[in-house]
Structure 1
Amino acid sequence: MGFKFCLGHPWEFMGIAKAMLETGILPDFIVVDGKEGGTGAAPVEFTDHIGVPLREGLLFVHNTLVGLNLRDKIKLGASGKIVSAFDIASVLAIGADWANSARGFMFAIGCIQSQSCHTNKCPTGVATQDPLRQRALVVPDKAQRVFNFHRNTLHALAEMLAAAGLEHPSQLSAKHLVRRMSATEIKLFSQLHVFLKPGELLTGEVNGEFYSRMWQMARADSFEPHETAAA
């Protein structure tokens, strides 16, 4: 059993994590979704303004579980505009155990992003129950396209790993991701972001004021923050 969510206020997930510690009840997995994910049926207010982007949310959840010595007990998935092999590698490098991809397969099956998923009038027959519109979806043809996309994406991921001198996706880490800061400077993700050590939140010796403050604000019995810590 597990759950999927898009991170909102950071202390809210830490509240869930505190409840895990108090009750001893752990999910088998958590899938972190990014605000950039979703379907054409999603209101523009949600897609543009609500939730935390995938990589920020994933890193926070990963760090929280590491800081509580829970990371080895809970698997982490990631989803949200994951299409290419690099997209997959980039989330594996910052904490995900696997990646969920919907968008790429939607494109392979014929989606043109008409944003009419909820109207039953999908012009390509992908998201409709209308028999007439469904005729646009030729299953044998689209099945082969989906197979080709899946096979070639995994092949590209394998080539990327080999180019980096790695044998398995689990060997990816933040030091394999690089961000250009300026025309003359680049930095590794491991230099740009805080990565908590195992048990760090439990000891109270937290590397980073942000994580320390969010942990103090979190409550196991409510999503409301501790007001004294928030102040």
Structure 2
Amino acid sequence: MPLFVLGVYDLFQRKHTILRNFPLVGHFRYMFEAISPEIQQYFIERHTDGTPISRNHRSIVYKRSKDKNSTHPFGTEGDLYSSKYVGLKHSMYPAPVPEEELRVTIGGPDCRKPYSASLLNISAMSFGSISSAAVLAMGKGAKKGGFYQNTGEGSLSDYHLEAGGDVVWQIGTAYFGCRTETGGFDKHAFRERATLDAVKMIELKLSQGAKPGEGGVLPAEKNNKEIARIRMVEPGTLVHSPRGHREFQDAVGMLDFLVMLRDLSGGKPVGIKLCIGRKDEFRKLCKTMIERNVTPDFITVDGAEGGTGAAPLEYSDSVGMPMEPGLRFVRETLREYGLRPKIKLIASGKIVTAFDAVSALAYGADLCNSARAFMLATGCIQALRCNTNRCPTGITTMDPKLTVGLVVEDKCERVANFHRNTLRAVRDMMASCGVSEPGELDESIFLRGKEWRHLGGSGVG
């Protein structure tokens, strides 16, 4: 009887053509659509498939986070004769593998409190886009491993401080955590938090790779009392992050703002995060740095392939420059203007494996940030539910029924393990290429599939 009633309803409802034409049976279409990511991942996906991160690369993160053997059997599954192939030139005379972790000191001529950073760190993820349990697990893992956690633009939360690790406080266009009632920048609120010992650096976010030029949205239903208190907004209200900063509109204003942030923080390193779009704007910024004799201590270059909890598809697919060309452009432009020695470069954009990190260093980065790799280490299964508040692993959800499954003390160990084992693999790859220091890496280290056709002539270099 219930099925008969449902079938009659399907015949007369006007919203779904499939159900009008195929009563009852049409519901299977919607059921399979709802679980299509799981069907794809568990039954169809091959080892080299899976986007944005392949099954093979997810597997290596899981193994390293669990301190298991991360070797791969039987040989490569990739097409080494593809013109898209990129590899590394190894040396007949490998260098010794450095036993100590390699670190980078960040702090330009105007910085009074330089910071010694790891080569691999946790990229920007806001409390609210990820759960309190995820923030704690990553933060405690960062403390164990001696690397930093970027707060994302959602501000410095109680959980970042409770974790006890090093923190980079990101300031976005909405000035969460340091904003006035009208959405402007509040110097006093900023100083109060920026001078905390846990905060090691300040990052001014200009744009995010996954959605450059697009402001974020905090839905009213997600804006609970805790998040509202941390972000300094009214609970239960829809909050938009503006597309750009209201405190400045040009390079001069931005550099003056950075100087103020550095002074208010007590002289800590300050930098900017951006995805490259219009090259002329970055060149103008470099010219202004020289004219005013002001430089950021670091620049984080995000790629258009960078991750996000939620973004318009058109932005993720079609706006901004990928990390590799963006990083190369920033490196060369800074060199052209004589600014490279003063500014450290941080690569941020789909860095998952040791090869990704070595490549970023070769393209000019001094160190790397990664978000999705650390999410995988925390238990993410790439369920593609980040924007629904229904993340099955309790990472990108605020639903307590789901976050309760994430055991912080277990996952923080995995975060620290992944960091340690990946950096060990980075040192191994560098040594195989005859290199002992990251600064010795450059683009001459790459082999590219398009070079194979020259083997009969002058060789591969």
Is residue 354 of structure 2 the alignment partner of residue 93 of structure 1?
A: no
Question: Residues 73-222 of structure 1 correspond to what in structure 2 (within 5 A)?
Answer: 73-181=342-450, 183-185=452-454
- 1:219 corresponds to: none
Distance apart, 1:114 and its partner CA: 3.2
TM-score by length of 1: 0.76
SS at match of 2:392: coil
2:309·2:396 contact (CA, 8 Å) conserved in 1? no
| 1:110-156 per-position Cα deviation (integer Å, ceiling 9, x unaligned) | 11233333433222100222211101212222222222211110111
Structure number with larger C-alpha Rg: 2
Distance 1:2 1:129 in 2: 30
Distance apart, 1:89 and its partner CA: 0.5
| 1:163-218 per-position Cα deviation (integer Å, ceiling 9, x unaligned) | 112112221111111212154237xxxx9xxxxxxxxxxxxxxxxxxxxxxxxxxx
SS at match of 1:22: helix
2:354·2:425 contact (CA, 8 Å) conserved in 1? yes
Distance 1:39 1:185 in 2: 40
| 1:75-110 per-position Cα deviation (integer Å, ceiling 9, x unaligned) | 111110001111011011121111111111111111
2:307·2:371 contact (CA, 8 Å) conserved in 1? no
Distance 1:112 1:65 in 2: 39
Distance apart, 1:19 and its partner CA: 1.5
- 1:226 corresponds to: none
Among residues 22, 27, 42, which one is paired with 2:311 in the alignment?
Answer: 42
Query: Which has the larger share of helix?
Result: 1
Distance 1:117 1:185 in 2: 45
Distance 2:374 2:312 in 1: 22
Distance 1:7 1:112 in 2: 30
SS at match of 1:178: strand
SS at match of 1:4: strand
- Show structure 1 runs of 5+ residues with no match: 192-231
- Show structure 2 runs of 5+ residues with no match: 1-269, 456-460
Among residues 298, 313, 319, which one is paired with 1:29 in the alignment?
Answer: 298
SS at match of 2:384: coil
- 1:222 corresponds to: none
Distance 1:17 1:169 in 2: 25
- 1:195 corresponds to: none
% same residue: 52
Number of residue pairs matched?
Answer: 187
Which deviates further from its counterpart, 107-116 or 57-66?
A: 107-116
Distance 2:317 2:310 in 1: 13
SS at match of 2:449: strand
Distance 2:454 2:361 in 1: 24
**Counterpart residue type for residue 31 of structure 1:** T
SS at match of 1:117: coil
TM-score by length of 2: 0.39
